[in-house]
Amino acid sequence: MTRFVIAHSPDSDDAYMMAPLALGWLDEDPDRAGFDFEFVRKDIETLNHESLESRYDVTAISFGVYPEIRDRYDLLTAGSSIQEGTGPLVVTRRPMTPEELDDTVVAIPGKRTSAYLSLRKWRPGLDVALVSFDRIMEEVEAGNYDAGLLIHESQLMYQERGLHLMVDLGAWWKDNYDLPLPMGGNAIRKDLPEELKAQFARLMRKSVVMARQRHWESVDYSQGFGRGMDREMVSRYVQAWVNDFTEDPGERGRKAVEVLLGLSPVWIQG
């Protein structure tokens, strides 16, 4: 058996696509043979940082960190978070113009996140402060920051806090580039044997496909990672982020990653 460590964020969409692997639904699949899986769950900015050390065999990453790790990791075609026409949100405590934002500090979830990369493309030169992604709404609501960059489930919950939407960066990206906005993906260690990488790539795609086929079972598993979202909200969230691009980014998804990063990644086909 090959001990294989898979790291992903403690978010409902990551848990959802990993459910078939974590719950043993694919144990009889030929591509499952030989793997002894261990799962590690940490926030995405921590995983971005740890990817610089090649700590895990497979790890969730923000696409924003890929240029720093392209000599250590390849990208799996299965498991990407890419969405058409919507993405990270810039929200404010009070209605503001983008020009007013230039005189504030924006709370962001990490400097290696794709969300921050897209924010810099939308409005370069903003002052930012690092805040844990799951506290940004609270910090903006409390007045500690006038604006925040929201990722993950908080994108569905900011209105409950009385916050105001300034820009949906996915919509802005679509308007400017006519492409979906790539946020994150799964990376596999470059130094692993090619046949092993190809085997896991196939298995990862099967996991995404099966998670979508067994949707409500996958939702029930992932709800434990949803930070207070009810079952229906988890379903809505994971269906937005685990989509056809997650099974395979295709030509448009690959092009979107290239445009965002300014380089062509190495993909391992699932």
The DSSP output letter for 180 is: P
CA torsion through residues 212, 215, 217, 219, sign: positive
Question: Based on the domain organization, do 171 and 200 belong to the same domain?
Answer: no
* Domain co-membership, 205 together with 260: yes
- Show which of 177, 204, 235 is a domain's final residue: 177
Collapsing DSSP states into helix, strand and coil, what is residue 4? strand
In a shared domain, residues 208 and 247: yes
Mean pLDDT of 131-140: 90
- Verify that 79 and 125 share a domain, yes or no: no
Q: Are 194 and 71 within one domain?
A: yes
Domain containing 121 equals 89-177
> Which is catalytic among the residues 8, 49, 152, 164?
152
Tell me, what's the pLDDT at 159?
81
Distance, CA of 211 to CA of 205 (rounded, Å):
10
Q: What is the pLDDT of residues 61-109, one digit of tens each?
A: 999 999 999 999 999 999 999 999 989 999 999 999 999 999 999 999 9
Residues 196 and 253 in one domain: yes
Same-domain pairing of 171 and 218: no
The size of the chain, in residues, is 270
Same domain, yes or no, for 129 and 249?
A: no
Active site residue 164: no
> 111 is written with which tokens?
């400097």
Are residues 158 and 187 both part of a single domain? no
- Our count of domains for the chain comes to 2
- Asked if residue 200 and residue 167 are part of one domain, the reply reads no
Q: Report whether 188 contacts 197 (CB < 8 A).
A: yes
Pick the last residue of a domain from 177, 192, 222.
177
Average pLDDT for residues 196-214, to the nearest whole number? 98
Across residues 20-46, what is the average pLDDT?
Answer: 95
In this structure, what CATH number is given to the domain that contains residue 122?
3.40.190.10
Both 10 and 137 in one domain: the answer is: no
Q: Worst-scoring range by mean pLDDT, 16-20, 25-29, 131-135, 179-183?
A: 131-135
